[in-house]
């Protein structure tokens, strides 16, 4: 399941990050990598507010589709 299909308020473990190398590198700088926990806080106008390592970030839908979650 991708982050774009996740429920608000739930915490998941990241299974993998897919997509273009530029997107993968950017998400890695946010702390978004395999095995890390991620919480989807909310969806607002096509942007996803997530919590990674006690920090909140807003990412767009294409990045949310790059994040594969464990079921």
71 — pLDDT class (breaks 50, 70, 90): confident
Q: Which domains does the chain have, with CATH numbers?
A: 3-69 (2.30.30.90)
Give residue 47's pLDDT: 95
Please give the Cα distance from 65 to 52 (Å, whole number).
16
pLDDT, tens only, 11-66: 999 999 999 999 999 999 999 999 999 999 999 988 999 999 999 999 999 999 99
Cut 0.75: pTM above it: yes
59 φ, ψ (degrees, to nearest 5): -125, 155
Please give the Cα distance from 30 to 56 (Å, whole number).
9
Please give the Cα distance from 1 to 61 (Å, whole number).
14
The CA–CA distances, whole Å, from 43 to 1, 15, 59 equal: 17, 21, 10
Give residue 35's pLDDT: 95
């Amino acid at each position: 399941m991708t982050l774009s299909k996740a429920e608000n308020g739930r915490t998941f473990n990241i299974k993998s990050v897919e997509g273009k190398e530029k997107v993968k590198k950017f998400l890695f700088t946010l702390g978004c990598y395999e095995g890390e926990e991620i919480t989807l806080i909310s969806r607002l106008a096509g942007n996803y507010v997530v919590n990674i390592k006690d920090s909140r970030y807003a990412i767009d839908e294409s990045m949310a589709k790059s994040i594969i979650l464990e079921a």
